[in-house]
Amino acid sequence: MVEFKAVIADIKNGKAYNAQVSGQHANRLLGMKIGDEFDGLFVSLPGYKLKITGGSDKDGFPMRNDLPGQQRKRVLLSEGLGYHPAHEGQRKRKTIRGNTISSEIVQINMKVTSYGPRPIEDQLKQGETK
């Protein structure tokens, strides 16, 4: 069975909330890509719209939106997600994950694009992370 940890960023108040996604709701997220919008019902937020912004796999490798597919690859990077160079023009080969959610993804990062009738705190019933 697939299970994800969802980190939901509330852009209105600058807080992030954790939620566990499992069962049929987690199966619905399989195959979605970074940038896709979906109904918040899948993460216990009915009435909300969420957008996938990234994530990481079981070994901690980050997802990158410009690498298509589900696979893990070693890519030569000069900047951006997964590598921050110390000097101008420096490049390095780093392992990153593709932009599609698979069963090997553990954490999915998302942000709220459309708000529902009830506050997030009331629906998730847990503390926030910073």
Beta bridge mates, 5: 20, 107
Task: Tell me which residue range forms the domain holding 23.
Answer: 3-129
Beta strands in the chain (DSSP E): 3-10, 15-22, 37-39, 49-57, 72-77, 92-97, 105-114, 128-129
Mean per-residue pLDDT for 76-97?
94
Nearest to 92 by CA among 107, 108, 79: 79
Question: Looking at the whole model, is its pTM more than 0.75?
Answer: yes
Quote the pLDDT of residue 82.
Answer: 87
For the chain, the domain total comes to 1
pLDDT band for position 1 (cuts 50, 70, 90): confident
Phi, psi of 73 (to 5 degrees): -135, 155
Percent of the chain with pLDDT strictly greater than 90: 86
pLDDT digits (tens, 9 = 90+) for 3-45: 999 999 999 999 999 999 999 999 999 999 999 999 999 998 9
Q: Which residues contact 46 (CB under 8 A, 6 or more apart)?
A: 39, 40, 116, 123
